[in-house]
Structure 1
Amino acid sequence: MREKVISRAVRLIGLGSAVFSMQVGAQTATEAPMQTVQVTGSRIASPGAESPSPLQVLSSADIAASGATNLQELLSKNPTLGTPTVSRTNSNFSTSSAGVSTVNLRNLDTSRTLVLLNGRRFVSGIPGDSAVDLNVIPTDFIERVELLTGGASATYGSDAVAGVVNIITKRNFSGLVLDVQGGQSTKHDDTKKKFSATWGTSNADATSNIMVHFGYSKQGAVYSKDRAASAIDQTSAGDPEDLFRVTRPFYSSYAPQGRFFDDNGSFTYDRNGTVIPWNTNGTNGQAATGFNRSEFRSIAVPTDRYLLATTGTMNLNDNHSVFFEGNYASTRVTTMLEPFALGSDDIYKGDTGGQVPAELLINGVLRRNPLVPDRLFDNISDTNGDGLRDYFFTRRLAEVGNRGSKANRDTFRLATGLKGNFNLLREWNYETYIAYGQTKESQSSNGQVNVLNFRHALEAITDIDDLNQNNNRTETICADATARALGCVPINVFGYGSITPEALKYVNAPGSLETKVTQKLAGGSISGEVYDLPAGAVGVAVGFEWRGEESSSEADALTQAGLNAGNALPPTYGKFNVKELFGEVRIPVLKDKPFVKELNLSSAFRRGKYSTVGYATSWNAAAEWSPIADVRFRATRALSTRAPNINELFQPAQQTFPSDIVDPCEGITATGGGARGDACRAAPGVAANIAENGAFTLSQSDLQGISGYDRGNPNLREEKGWSTTIGVVWTPRSIAALKNITFTLDYFDIKIDDAIVFMPRQYALENCYGGDGSLCNVITRRPAAMGPNSAGSLEYIDSLVSNTGSKATEGVDVTASWAGAVGPGRLSARLAWTWLREGYDTPTPGAARDYWAGEIAQSPKNKASINLAYKWGPFSIATATTYIGKSYLDDQFLAQLDLPRNAVGVGSRTYQDFQLTYELRKKWEVYFGMDNAFNTKAPPIVTGLPGNTTGAETEAGAYDPIGRRYYLGLRATL
Structure 2
Amino acid sequence: MIEKVLSRSIRVICLGGIAFGMHAANAQDQQDQPMARVEVTGSRLASPNAESASPLQVLTAADIAASGATNLQQLLLNNPTMGTPTISRTNSAFQTSSVGVATIDLRNLGTSRTLVLVNGRRFVAGIPGESAVDLNSIPTDFIERVELFTGGASATYGSDAVAGVVNIITKKNFNGLIADAQGGKSSKGDDLKRKLALTWGTSNDDGFIMAHLGYSRQGQVWSRDRAASAIDQYSLMALDTEDPADAFTPYRPYYSSYAPQGRFTWAKGKDFTYDKSGNIIPWDTNGDNGPATGFNRSYYRSIAVPTERYLLATNGELKLGEKHRAFFEGTYASTSVGATIEPFALASTDIFKATSGWVPAGTMVNGVVVKNPYVPQYLWDRAVDNDGDGIRDYSFTRRMSEVGTRSQKVDRDTFRLATGVKGSFDLLKEWNYEVYGAFGQTKEAQNSTGQVNTLNFRYALQAIPDGNGGVMCADANARKQGCVPINIFGYNAVTPEALKYIDAPGALATKTTQKLVGGTIDGEPFAVPAGNVGVAAGFEWRKEFSSSIPDALTQAGLNAGNATPPTEGEFTVKEVFVETNVPLLKDLPFVKALDLKAAFRHGEYSTIGTANSWNGGFEWAVNSDIKFRGTRSLSTRAPNINELFQAPSQDFPSGLTDPCAGVTATSTGTYDALCRAAPGVMANINANGKFTLNQSDVQGISGYNRGNPHLGAEKGRSSTIGLVYTPRSIPVLSKVTFTADYFNIKIADAIVSTPRSYALKSCYDGSNPAMCQFITRRATNQGANSAGSLQYIDTAVSNSGGKATEGIDITASWADRVGPGRLSTHLAYTYVKDGYDIPMPGADRDPFAGEIGSAKNKANLNLAYKWGNFGVSTVFTYIGRSSLDDQFLADFDLPPHSVQVGSRTYTDLQLTYQLRKSTELYFGLNNAFDQKAPPIISGLPGDNTGTETDAGTYDPIGRRWYAGLRIKL
Q: If the TM-score is normalised by the length of the shorter chain, which range does it land in?
A: over 0.9
> Could you tell me whether the CA contact under 8 Å between 1:37 and 1:48 is conserved in 2?
no
Please report how far the alpha carbon of residue 631 of structure 1 lies from its aligned counterpart in structure 2 after TM superposition: 0.6
Per-residue CA distance 1:712-758 (angstroms, 9 max, x = gap): 11111010000000000001112111111110000000000011111
CA drift of 1:673 comes to: 2.5
**Alpha-carbon shift at residue 770 of structure 1 (Å):** 1.7
CA distance in 2, matches of 1:704, 1:257: 19
Judge conservation of contact 1:693–1:788 (CA < 8 Å) in 2.
no
Structure 2: tracts of 5 or more residues without a match: 1-33
CA distance in 1, matches of 2:172, 2:770: 58
Instruction: Name the CA shift for 1:878/1:782 in 2 (closer, same or farther; >3 Å).
Output: same
CA contact under 8 A between 2:520 and 2:536: conserved in structure 1? yes
Partner of 2:746: 751
Residue from 330, 337, 342 that aligns with 2:341? 337
- Is residue 271 from structure 1 mapped to residue 266 from structure 2 by the alignment? no
1:44-55 aligned at under 5 Å gives the runs 44-55=45-56
Residue identity matched to 2:298: S
Q: Equivalent residue of 1:213, what SS?
A: strand
Tell me by how many angstroms 1:805 deviates.
3.2
1:12 maps to what in 2?
Answer: none
Secondary structure at the aligned position of 2:745 is classed as strand
Residues 224-279 of structure 1: per-residue CA shift (max 9 Å, x gap): 01001001111101232321111001000001000111236111101110111111
- Cα distance, 1:789 vs structure 2: 4.3
Residue 99 of structure 2: SS of its match in structure 1? coil
Shift of 1:672: 2.1
1:797 has 2:793 as partner: yes
1:293 corresponding residue in structure 2: 297
Match of 1:378, SS state, is helix
Using the TM superposition, give the Cα deviation of residue 196 of structure 1 relative to its aligned residue in structure 2, in angstroms: 0.3
Q: Distance in 2 between matches of 1:417 and 1:777?
A: 52
- In structure 1, the gaps of 5 or more residues are 1-32, 465-471
TM-score under structure 1 length normalisation: 0.95
Decide whether aligned partners of structure 1 residues 266 and 477 sit closer, same or farther in structure 2, where only a CA change above 3 A counts.
same
Whole-angstrom CA distance in 1 between matches of 2:362 and 2:788:
27
Please provide the CA RMSD for this pair.
Answer: 1.1
CA distance in 1, matches of 2:119, 2:55: 19
Instruction: Supply the distance in 2 between the matched residues of 1:198 and 1:45 (Cα, whole angstroms).
Output: 28
Distance 1:35 1:192 in 2: 36
Determine whether 1:962 maps to 2:957: yes
Paired residues of 1:577 and 1:611 also in contact (CA < 8 A): yes
Counterpart of 1:370 (choices 369, 373, 388) is: 373
- Counterpart CA distance in 2 for 1:711 and 1:953 is 28
Contact 1:916 1:927 in 2 (8 A): yes
When residues 35 and 893 of structure 1 are mapped into structure 2, their CA distance, relative to the original with a 3 A threshold, is closer
User: In 1, Cα distance between the equivalents of 2:534 and 2:249?
Assistant: 62
User: Is 1:219–1:304's contact at 8 Å kept on the other side of the alignment?
Assistant: yes
Which residue number corresponds to residue 381 of structure 1? 384
Residue type at the aligned position of 1:147: L
Runs of 4+ in 1 over 3 A off after TM superposition: none
Alignment of 1:395-794 (within 5 A): 395-464=398-467, 472=468, 474-674=469-669, 676-772=671-767, 773-787=769-783, 789-794=785-790
2-structure distance, mates of 1:850, 1:348: 40
2:31 aligned partner = none
Paired position in structure 2 for 1:183: 184
> 1:34 offset after TM fit, Å?
11
CA contact (8 A) 2:265 2:784 kept: no
Q: State the Cα distance separating 1:804 from its structure 2 match.
A: 2.2
Q: Is the 8 A contact 1:40 1:166 kept in 2?
A: yes
SS in 2 for 1:628: coil
Question: Does the 8 Å CA contact 1:457/1:489 hold for their aligned counterparts?
Answer: yes
Q: Which stretch of the first structure deviates more once superposed, 237-246 or 907-916?
A: 237-246
Q: Within 2, Cα distance between the matches of 1:60 and 1:258?
A: 56
How far the C-alpha of 1:780 sits from its partner, in A, is 0.9
Q: Cα deviations across residues 7-39 of structure 1 (Å, max 9, x unaligned)?
A: xxxxxxxxxxxxxxxxxxxxxxxxxx9953321
| CA distance in structure 2 between the aligned counterparts of 1:968 and 1:127, rounded to whole angstroms | 36
Contact conserved, 1:756 with 1:805, CA < 8 A, in 2?
no
SS at match of 1:189: coil
Task: Please give the alpha-carbon distance, in whole angstroms, between the structure 2 residues aligned to 1:863 and 1:524.
Answer: 39
Distance 1:35 1:914 in 2: 32
Identity of aligned residues (%): 66
Contact 1:688–1:788 (CA<8 Å) still a contact in 2? no
What is residue 936 of structure 2 aligned with on the other side? Answer: 941
Aligned equivalents of 1:218, 1:789: Cα separation in 2:
44
TM-score when normalising by structure 2: 0.95
CA apart distance, 1:362? 2.2
Matches within 5 A, 1:224-239: 224-238=223-237, 239=241
Confirm whether residue 168 of structure 1 aligns to residue 166 of structure 2.
no
Partner of 1:281: 286
CA distance in structure 2 between the aligned counterparts of 1:196 and 1:241, rounded to whole angstroms: 50
Amino acid at match of 1:746: D
In 1, Cα distance between equivalents of 2:652 and 2:90? 19
Matched-pair contact (CA < 8 Å) for 1:194–1:217: yes
Distance 1:788 1:923, change over 3 A: closer
Alignment of 1:881-960 (within 5 A): 881-960=876-955
**3-state SS of 2:837 partner:** strand
Deviation by residue 1:336-378 (Cα, 9 ceiling, x = unmatched):
01100001111111x2101111122222221111110011111
Q: Alignment partner of 2:382: what SS?
A: coil
Check the 8 A contact 1:36/1:48 in 2, yes or no: no
Counterpart Cα distance in 2 of 1:913 and 1:774: 50
Tell me if structure 2 keeps the 8 A contact 1:442–1:515.
yes
SS across alignment from 2:560? coil
Q: Matched residue of 1:686: which SS? A: helix
Residues 1:675 and 1:250: Cα distance change in structure 2 (over 3 Å): closer
Rounded to whole Å, the distance in 1 between the matches of 2:506 and 2:783 is 34
Return the letter of the residue paired with 1:332: S
String of CA shifts for 1:908-966, please: whole Å, max 9, x gaps.
Answer: 00000010000001000100000000000000001011000100011000000000000
Which of 304, 317, 320 is equivalent to 1:316? 320
Question: CA contact under 8 A between 1:199 and 1:213: conserved in structure 2?
Answer: yes
Q: Tell me the residue number matched to 2:329.
A: 325
Partner of 1:140: 141
Mark the CA change 1:362 to 1:275 in structure 2 (over 3 Å): closer, same or farther.
Answer: same
SS of the equivalent of 1:871 reads: strand
The whole-number CA distance in structure 1 between the counterparts of 2:895 and 2:596 is 46
Find the residue that maps to 1:934 and give its secondary structure. Answer: coil
1:13 alignment counterpart: none
Deviation at 1:307, TM superposition (A): 0.2
Alignment partners' CA distance in 2, 1:55 and 1:768: 44
Q: In 1, Cα distance between the equivalents of 2:628 and 2:383? A: 79
Kindly provide the CA deviation profile for residues 854-909 of structure 1, in whole angstroms up to 9, marking residues without a partner as x.
Answer: 111x3100000001111000000011100000000000000001111000010000
Instruction: Describe the superposition over 1:360-403 as per-residue Cα deviations: whole angstroms up to 9, x where unpaired.
Output: 22222211111100111111111222222111110000000000
AA partner of residue 218 (structure 1) = R
**Paired residues of 2:223 and 2:303 also in contact (CA < 8 A):** yes
CA–CA distance in structure 1, aligned partners of residues 464 and 679 of structure 2: 35
Q: For 1:487 and 1:318, how far apart are their aligned partners in 2?
A: 75
Give 2:909's aligned amino acid.
F
AA aligned to 2:836 is: Y
2: CA distance, partners of 1:539 / 1:959: 45
Q: Distance in 2 between matches of 1:774 and 1:969?
A: 59
What letter matches 2:451 in structure 1?
Q
**Within 2, Cα distance between the matches of 1:871 and 1:762?**
52
1:689/1:788 contact within 8 Å kept: no
Separation in structure 2 between the aligned mates of residue 921 and residue 34 of structure 1, nearest angstrom: 27
Q: Counterpart in 2 of 1:357?
A: 360
> Are the aligned partners of 2:801 and 2:842 in contact in 1 as well (CA < 8 Å)?
no
Does the 8 Å contact 1:56/1:146 carry over to 2? yes
